[in-house]
Amino acid sequence: MPEKIDFSKVRFLICDPNALSLTMLNDILSMLGATYIRKVNDFEKAMNVLKEGNIDIVITEHDLPAEGGIALVDYIRNDPSSRNRLLPVILLTARSEEQYVVEARDHGVNEFVAKPYTVDSLYKRLSMVIAYPRPFVSAPGYFGPDRRRKQMPFNGNERRGVDPNARPS
Amino acid sequence: MAPPKVQIIQPPMDLRKRAVNFKTGFGVILTPAEASQLEAVVEKSSDNFAKQIAAKLKTLRAALAGLADGGAPHMALIERVAADALEIKGLGGTFKFPLLTQIAKSLHDYAAPIKEPNVWHGVIFAHHVDALYVVLAQRITGLGGKVESELLKALREASNKFK
């Protein structure tokens, strides 16, 4: 029997300065069955919602007044006051050029969806962060999802300390 | 000196445990019927999209037409053109107007780097805005035909020539 995702159990924060984008995303999530969707159009409001701590997934635009979506990711991943450093973040943005993809990846974004998007592409990313979450990496200068997507054979010495029970400090 | 410590942290599974099941919700992989249900949400917003973008383009057109004779656009207007273009770029394709996305991308790529406005900037903006307006008014979904392709090429060439 195939697995299903009950979106009524998932609490969303969606951040986009564009009202139409925000409404459409809200409508898509509602159609999926989500009932807890917090909508904000700027960085400050997003921060306020995050500080309350009742969020499972963040979907944000890159261009978020006033600090930007990447600053929001930095807060979630690295700020001592962050309520959940492992919170899944999907960047859903019209900034689709390679430099933005690399920037997002290096700041700890889980998934990147370029606008204009299809509902199928968005759903695949949602499904990934819920059903198949990636391990996190804590390293000097980086805290976020493992950036290695491919499992490559490696014959050298294993120099990374792997502790399955390690939690972020 | 000891190498910097790198830790692999196992992913949190609480969300998966809470939301993934075998009875309720949408498949982890969408079925065609589920995909159609979601597409219908986008379809429903399509008219609203066309209205909002048309209103934006109308305002931009008026602002560009209002430039003093032969005057260059001011920075605030340039920033607004860039922001609106980015927004249209991001939405067009989702609503089955990929040509709108491509023209808006050309406009955004042209407007965003401008630091010192000149007269040509206003002219190139106006041509882009007119093209966007026509695509929307004529409801040209898809990438259009040869004429649309030539138009896009011409806009890009003009943008490169009058930087």
Compute φ and ψ for A112, nearest 5 degrees: -120, 125
Q: Smallest Cα–Cα separation from A32: which of B96, B19, B18? A: B19
Does A94 sit within 8 Å of B90, measured CB to CB?
yes
Neighboring chain A residues of B7 at a CB cutoff of 8 Å: 137-139, 161, 163, 166
Which pLDDT does position A147 carry in this prediction? 87
Q: Smallest Cα–Cα separation from A28: which of B155, B102, B26? A: B26
* ipTM of this complex prediction, to 2 decimal places: 0.87
- Let me know how many helices (H) and strands (E) chain A has, helices first: 5, 9
Which residue of A16, A20, A132 to mutate against B (max B Cβ within 10 Å)? Answer: A20
Q: CB-based contact (8 Å) between A112 and chain B? A: no
Does A131 sit within 8 Å of B21, measured CB to CB?
no
Does A4 sit within 8 Å of B24, measured CB to CB?
yes
Neighboring chain B residues of A140 at a CB cutoff of 8 Å: 4-6
Are the beta carbons of A69 and A109 closer than 8 angstroms?
no
Which pLDDT does position B72 carry in this prediction? 85
Give B13-40 pLDDT, tens digit per residue: 999 999 999 999 999 999 999 999 999 9
Cα dist. B50→A139, B11, B136, B140 in Å?
47, 42, 7, 12
Distance between the two ends of chain A, CA-based, in angstroms? Answer: 39
Phi-psi region of B95 (alpha: psi -120 to 50; beta: other; left: phi over 0): alpha
Position A14 pLDDT exceeds 90: yes
Percentage helix, strand, coil, to 5, in chain A?
Answer: 35, 20, 45
Give B86-113 pLDDT, tens digit per residue: 999 999 999 989 999 999 999 999 999 9
Residue of B nearest to A168 (CA): B9
Q: CB-based contact (8 Å) between B134 and chain A? A: no
Which pLDDT does position B142 carry in this prediction? 83
Q: CB-based contact (8 Å) between B115 and chain A? A: no
Position A168 pLDDT exceeds 60: no
Does A115 sit within 8 Å of B89, measured CB to CB?
yes
Which pLDDT does position A169 carry in this prediction? 46
Give A34-77 pLDDT, tens digit per residue: 999 999 999 999 999 999 999 999 999 999 998 999 999 999 99
Give A111-160 pLDDT, tens digit per residue: 999 999 999 999 999 999 999 999 999 999 999 999 887 666 666 766 55
